[in-house]
Structure 1
Amino acid sequence: MPSSHNAATLRGCGGVAVELLSDAFQLPALRTSVPEARRRVTAALREWGAVEQVRDDAELVVSELFTNAVRHTDSEQVHCELTLDGTRLRVAVTDQGHSDSRPRAQPRSTDRECGRGLLLVGALSEDWGERPADTGRGRVVWADLAY
């Protein structure tokens, strides 16, 4: 599915116009889609003029969230949305699948493969969380990064 590349709007924020940029895309829920998700996020942020550190952090966050959606749900597609609102970049990954548990960081898992990704997401983001998807099936896992 093509991206909704760079939908921009202006809205007022205390008398100051703030530009809201967004980009969204959907890819098959396959391991091979993870590098494509990283490329798309990096390309959008480069076009928006993001500094290298923001691009690197967002690329790592989307990689972890997208990988979790592929590995831990029965989704056929995974949706990713980037929203830049002033000084906050939100990365949101929506799966359409079912998982037996909610995503959570596992602090005791530094020697295990599972659980470290969300620790990394937490370290790179100002905040992160999850909520049910609007469709009623699947969930949205999001992370807010300083821009």
Structure 2
Amino acid sequence: MDTRIRKWDYFHILDSALLVVSELVTNAARQTTHEEIRLQLSRDPYGIIIAVWDRDHELPRAKPMTELTLEDLDLSEEAFDDNGGWGLHIIQALSAKCGVTADPAGGKWIWTRMHP
């Protein structure tokens, strides 16, 4: 993916694109543990499109937006992973547009468009 984005001369959004891919793939892997997931990267005249497919039909849900402070986070080892769930907000902030499309063969594609 890194090579393709650089080849398209979109190196200036590479870090943001890698973060979006990380969030989308992580969400798909959590939804469908030990199942196949797919990553697709393409471009059109408006930018790049990053899409991730998983088998699950359940739509992603973003946590309600709240303002957090460090005191709000439980940083104990037992609860460390409970502080996540903000990935969809990150994706929305970095994307020009994003959405979910049902796959007629099953599952769903979660996609995002990033402007160069």
User: Shorter chain as normaliser: what TM range?
Assistant: 0.7 to 0.9
For the 8 Å contact 1:42–1:55, the answer to whether it is kept is yes
Q: Once superposed, which parts of structure 1, at least 4 consecutive aligned residues long, lie more than 6 Å away?
A: none
Q: Partner of 1:129: helix, strand, or coil?
A: strand
Match of 2:108 among 130, 139, 145: 139
In the other structure, the counterpart of 1:72 is 31
Partner of 2:76: none
Point out the structure with the larger strand share.
1
- Taking the TM superposition and a 5 Å limit, the aligned residue runs for 1:7-46 are 41-46=1-6
Q: Is the 8 A contact 1:87 1:146 kept in 2?
A: yes
Corresponding pairs, count: 103
RCO comparison, higher one (Cα < 8 Å, 6+): 2
* Structure 2 portions without partners, runs of 5+: 74-81
1:77 counterpart SS class: coil
1: CA distance, partners of 2:5 / 2:47: 13
Q: What amino acid sits opposite 1:42 in the alignment?
A: D
| SS state at 2:43 partner | strand
Name the structure 2 match of 1:102. Answer: 59
Per-residue deviation, 1:78: 1.2
Structure 1 unaligned regions, length at least 5: 1-40
Q: Deviations over 1:84-125 (max 9, x none)?
A: 1113211010112x26x4112213365553430000000000
In angstroms, what is the RMSD of aligned CA positions? 2.0
Partner amino acid for 1:118? Answer: L
Once residues 88 and 105 of structure 1 are traced to their aligned partners in structure 2, the CA distance between those partners, rounded to angstroms, is 24
Per the normalisation by structure 2, the TM-score is 0.77
Identity %: 34
Matches within 5 A, 1:52-63: 52=12, 54-63=13-22
Q: 1:142 & 1:125 partners in 2: Cα distance? A: 10
Work out whether residues 107 and 119 of structure 1, in 8 Å CA contact, stay in contact via their aligned partners in 2. Answer: no
